[in-house]
Amino acid sequence: MARLLLLCAASGLLLAAVSTIPPPEEAARMARYVLHSCDWGALATLSAQEGLRGRPFANIFSLSDGPPGPCGGSGVPYLYLTDMEISVQDLEVNSNASLTVSLAQTPYCRKHRYDPQNPLCAHIIFVGSIVKVNDSEAGLAKKALFSRHPEMESWPKDHNWFFAKFNITNIWVLDYFGGLKIVTPEEYYSVKP
């Protein structure tokens, strides 16, 4: 019985350690942590639609950088898209976009009673472009997305869904007071989340 209690306590400590938010001085790790913790983000494009052409247009998209869990994911935001979607039509004209993910969608900020605009409720802003993944990366994107969003597998086939990724060129982290922190893609991909 004592061994079982010890094992349960050790498992609890391990789980707590895995789910601990990175400290503010580790901005690259924070960016990876927040992305992996989020199932969706706000994607902003430059509209190509009549009457809105050239104006910012934000929309919500499901995303994933890998299956949920403590392994931390790849850091690459994958999306499942169709040309029928208005923001995807914008991306066909100009693939540049920004993507914002926030711990506000997780229990973390609610537990601490942080407003989504509070810097302690960390959010990350990625800037870059959306590109279709190649055949060699499609399996990874499918596993990442369908593990978190199983409903996607049953979406209508006649919508011509495709896997895409957000190619990150710039990263801004807001996770503490004092302003944004800039993280390079090299720093971001080199850290262990």
Determine the pLDDT at residue 2.
42
pLDDT at 4 over 70: no
Take residue 142 and report the two structure tokens written for it: 């499918």
Whole-model pTM?
0.88
Number of Cβ within a 10 Å radius of residue 84: 12
**pLDDT of 73 higher than 70:** yes
pLDDT, residue 6, reads 35
Cα distance between residue 166 and residue 120, in whole Å: 25
pLDDT of residue 10: 35
Average of pLDDT values for 35-51? 96
Shortest CA distance to 31 belongs to which of 78, 73, 94? 73
What pLDDT was estimated at residue 19?
59
Check if the beta carbon of residue 112 is closer than 8 Å to that of residue 21.
Answer: no
Through-space distance between the first and last CA atoms of the chain, rounded to whole angstroms: 35
DSSP class of residue 127 equals: E
Interacting residues of 182 by C-beta distance below 8 A, sequence separation 6+: 170, 171, 172, 173
Domains and CATH numbers, the chain: 40-190 (2.30.110.10)
Q: Is the pLDDT of residue 72 over 80?
A: no
d(CA 155, CA 136): 22
Band (pLDDT 50/70/90 cuts) for residue 130 is very high
